[in-house]
Structure 1
Amino acid sequence: MAQTSPPAGAARTAPDPRPDHLAPAPRGALPLVLTGAFMAVLDTFIVLVAAPAIQADLHASDADVQLILAGYQLTYAVALITGARLGDRFGRKRLFQTGMALFTVASVGCALAPGAGFLIAARLVQGLSAAAMFPQVFALLQVLVPAERRARAFGALGAVIGLAGAVGQVLGGVLVSADLLGSSWRPVFWVNVPVGVVTVALTARYVPESRAPRARRLDLPGAGVLTVALGLLVVPLVEGRPAGWPLWTWLSLAASALAFAAFVRVERRVAASGGEPLVRLRLFRERPFAVGMLLVLLTYAGINSFFLVFSLTLQDGLGQDALGAGLYYTPFAVVFFAASLLAGRLAHLGRRVLQAGALLVVLGFGSTVALATAAGPGLSAGQLVAPLALVGAGNGLLVTPLLGAVLTGVRPEETGLASGVLSTGQQIGGAVGVAVLGVLFYGALGPAAHQDVAAYGHALTCALTANAALAALVALLLPLLPDPATRRG
């Protein structure tokens, strides 16, 4: 699913950084910390269901909708590692509170947005605030929970993240359909406000402060160059098709390649000078990490783009209201959650679990394409439930074990940094997937009218064919990833 999952093995491999003088966490500390993770993930999913209503109410373009979704993930991705380092230096509790407070204020801005441009800007701020808040969740769990109970704490974090995905789909549908006081989609952002205010207030009382003994310096040049590179890549992908692919879009794409090359040079220069680069490039010399990061990028590009095109098809194409669309996601969420738990119990099977998951995803997308093609204008939402459940089961078996496998070969002292890079890769993959697959979906859809079932079914098959190809590529590349079961043995 489209989220930052706790790296399986983080609780197992990372050294216990708890200072001896730090008392066990107060009873209310862990629920408050987990609330931050819940909110950060919720706002990816709740907006997906509300996207058609937002587009209609604000007269937003297709590109605007993509930026409302991908912009949150982009700023989230770029600032995650910097957010972790700020917490190490200035205090994790302080950064968690600051991030939650800013997230709450940005949610008010989203709810009051008079137009698409304002909403996009507020979503960018939301992403930055989530990046300040979310890394502190990992760090605080490491610091506040004794080593013998930490695996259970990270398991709880995984459950909370999975629950956020399921609740986001259904809650978004309920709130949009309720149309409270004629406010349409705006309650999907207002709901963050009371939760944020209460969490900030209670954190001050129940969560103890902690800092890293040796806080790393910030790599502002690296963060700046990476931000520019991602912007040069994603903006033309989102804006290019509706603009007719003018020259500036191609120049921007070319410039993004140069900017990414510049980012690598900046990181090498920072490391050579004895500084702390945003990304330690030597991590990518380890095959498990390098191959694993590629697999994570491909996997999340497929997951996030799927949610976008499926939501649009259900509501704009098949005539479901927001609540109906949210409920149709429930089988996916339930099966994903169950398969994730099963994957943990099957960990001794190693890479075979990941391969089974990837093949189930291919089967799910492939059967959806076949079904939609055969049904044509007779396609209905109910017909898509079974293949959607297959996709959920496959992702449940694939995603969480994959994240753990990527970190298997990382040295314990670099687990925190590698987890930050991994989380960043998840968000970048999701944002680029939304941009690229969005271009394919909208291009195949053309100027179709709402509830033109045949046109939306055709666009869905085009997009999901690409999703199936991504999942097949993941299945083909998985043998290059060292088997985590072998490494444990």
Structure 2
Amino acid sequence: MSPRAMVLPLALAQFICSYAGTAMNVAIAPMARDLGTTVFGVQTTITLFTLTMAALMIPGSKLTDVWGRKRCLVAGLLLYGVGALLAAVAPGLGVMILGNALLEGIGSALMIPPIYILITVAFPDLATRAKYFGVVSGAGALGAATGPLIGGLITSFVSWRASFLLQVLVIGLIVVLIRRVPSPARTTEPARFDVTGAVLSAAGLMFVVLGVLLSATYGWGTARTDFAVAGHVVIPEGGISPVWPSLALGALLLAVFVLHLHRTARAGREPLLHLRLFRNRPANLGLGTQAVQWLVMQGTFFVTAVYLQEARGYDAIATGLALTPATAGILLSSAAAERLARHRAQRTLIVAGFVLTVAGMVLLLALVRDGTALWRTAPGLLLAGLGLGTMLTASVNLVQSAFPDRDQGDISGLSRSVSNLGSSLGTALAGSVIVAAAHPAGRPYAASLTVLVVVAVVGLVLAVLLPRASDA
């Protein structure tokens, strides 16, 4: 089987997952009307999708060692397809939550880790692997960036339900194409699934991501409004933001999870995640750069989209077109991943990517400050996109390549969880800064972009700290 025929369905699967994460944002109002619910109800569905996917990414990845990588991928595709079909025909919010938030979320958690594992084990050559990681990363970035545009077009000219039917059709195509992908031979006996570890990791990650998402509504300091659970006010307006209790509970559960992993390994049983992964300094720094990259990318897309719609009155279609330079930059640099990997070290590419991204964001901040012409956003977005595409592929390649085949299930789930957390934090952080800077007055978009630039500089520092030995 040709490499292209193998990678095509994997890239399509990554595209559709990323597309689903952003396409619904432009259809909230018509969905609320058709489902007989409120805007808050639809936003809750979107939040639950993010929580489900984030919470189950590590357990889903471990199942690749239990069921097999290809079988896990197919199971995820089928669950996702059923969920998208239910969402397309949903008569009310309950069915929408079941289809979109639960089944599509679980399906995403099952199918995303095998995508990266299959590429890692199929292509031992670093440069070739970089090429196909670039294809998949580019497909993911393309899905996230074009989700509002494609979703806006379909919602405007057909219906939001057609957007979910499109997902069903693409999933069906992937299932047909994936049948030709060879299933990697097992190098070890099927692992025993660590149920206790799965529950602890899922609950811990859920509360961490929930805390991050709550910041957009309640802020990071004091609660902007009452925080209620089941109709009862738990934290009144002006009290401590619910972000911190949620983060604290998540951190506590994750600490118990780590203790459980240690005890499980000492008892000679198979843990959900091997702690030896955290002894690899280049991989740990690479995971840090991954989190920052996704935070910066999603945050920048979010800030720019809100600015164009709120400050300049763009609709969803025009906003998607305005973000095209960033998408083009990501695709161009992702397409060059193999050539870059053959001539430059992974560490060098990550550092260069952060430098380009920071320069692009500073340029975007400087140009839009003095005017509103469309050309003023294009150079900065293009430069930032080139930087993001360069380092996204290099970081994934560095992290995945740092471990042998036996650890690919573990590191793939951990890597995807870190990236997902970065994405959630990017949107939430940018949104909370925009709200905070807008009261009573200020420059909310400039303030939010400035915060993202600072975070990108932190990522650059992490990249510089990568040992040169990781260049190989």
2:328 aligned partner: 334
Task: Note the C-alpha offset of 1:114.
Answer: 6.1
1:103 aligned partner: 80
SS of 2:366's partner is: helix
2:152 aligned partner: 176
SS of 1:346's partner is: helix
Counterpart Cα distance in 2 of 1:478 and 1:30: 28
Counterpart Cα distance in 1 of 2:49 and 2:161: 17
1:394-450 superposed Cα distances (whole Å, 9 cap, x missing partner): 212222112223345435643443233222211122123323332222333459xxx
CA RMSD across the alignment: 3.5
Listed as ranges, the gaps of 5+ residues in structure 2 are 228-234
Counterpart Cα distance in 2 of 1:304 and 1:231: 19
> CA separation of 1:295/1:117 partners in 2, compared to 1, >3 Å: closer, same or farther?
farther
Q: Percent identity?
A: 28
1:346-382 superposed Cα distances (whole Å, 9 cap, x missing partner): 344433332222122122222222333334xxx3444
Q: In 2, are the aligned partners of 1:141 and 1:154 still within 8 Å (CA)?
A: no
Greater RCO between the two (CA within 8 Å, min separation 6)?
1
Residue pairs, 1:259-274, within 5 angstroms: 259-274=253-268
SS of 2:393's partner is: helix
Counterpart Cα distance in 2 of 1:117 and 1:367: 45
> CA separation of 1:264/1:372 partners in 2, compared to 1, >3 Å: closer, same or farther?
same
1:216 aligned partner: 191
> CA separation of 1:339/1:264 partners in 2, compared to 1, >3 Å: closer, same or farther?
same
Task: Note the C-alpha offset of 1:220.
Answer: 2.0
Count of residues paired in the alignment: 447
SS of 1:216's partner is: coil
Q: In 1, are the aligned partners of 2:60 and 2:109 still within 8 Å (CA)?
A: yes
Counterpart Cα distance in 1 of 2:398 and 2:206: 30
1:243 aligned partner: 225
1:466 aligned partner: 451
2:169 aligned partner: 194
Letter in 1 for 2:443: H
Q: In 2, are the aligned partners of 1:405 and 1:484 still within 8 Å (CA)?
A: no
Counterpart Cα distance in 2 of 1:412 and 1:94: 17
Q: In 2, are the aligned partners of 1:166 and 1:333 still within 8 Å (CA)?
A: yes
1:320-339 superposed Cα distances (whole Å, 9 cap, x missing partner): 22221121222111111222
Length-normalised TM-score, structure 1: 0.79
1:431 aligned partner: 424
Residue pairs, 1:80-479, within 5 angstroms: 80-112=57-89, 119=96, 122-141=100-119, 152=128, 155-156=131-132, 158-166=134-142, 169-170=145-146, 172-179=148-155, 183=159, 185-200=160-175, 203=178, 206-207=180-181, 212=186, 213-239=188-214, 240-241=218-219, 243-244=225-226, 246=235, 249=242, 250-347=244-341, 348-350=343-345, 351-375=347-371, 379-407=372-400, 409-411=402-404, 413-445=406-438, 458-479=443-464
> CA separation of 1:310/1:411 partners in 2, compared to 1, >3 Å: closer, same or farther?
same
> CA separation of 1:72/1:307 partners in 2, compared to 1, >3 Å: closer, same or farther?
farther
The alignment status of 1:39 with 2:16, answered yes or no, reads yes
Task: Note the C-alpha offset of 1:303.
Answer: 1.7
Counterpart Cα distance in 2 of 1:290 and 1:479: 13
* Worse-superposed segment, 293-302 or 157-166: 157-166
Listed as ranges, the gaps of 5+ residues in structure 1 are 1-23, 448-454
Length-normalised TM-score, structure 2: 0.81
Task: Note the C-alpha offset of 1:265.
Answer: 1.0
Counterpart Cα distance in 2 of 1:367 and 1:26: 38
SS of 2:190's partner is: coil
Counterpart Cα distance in 1 of 2:266 and 2:152: 52
Q: In 1, are the aligned partners of 2:290 and 2:395 still within 8 Å (CA)?
A: yes
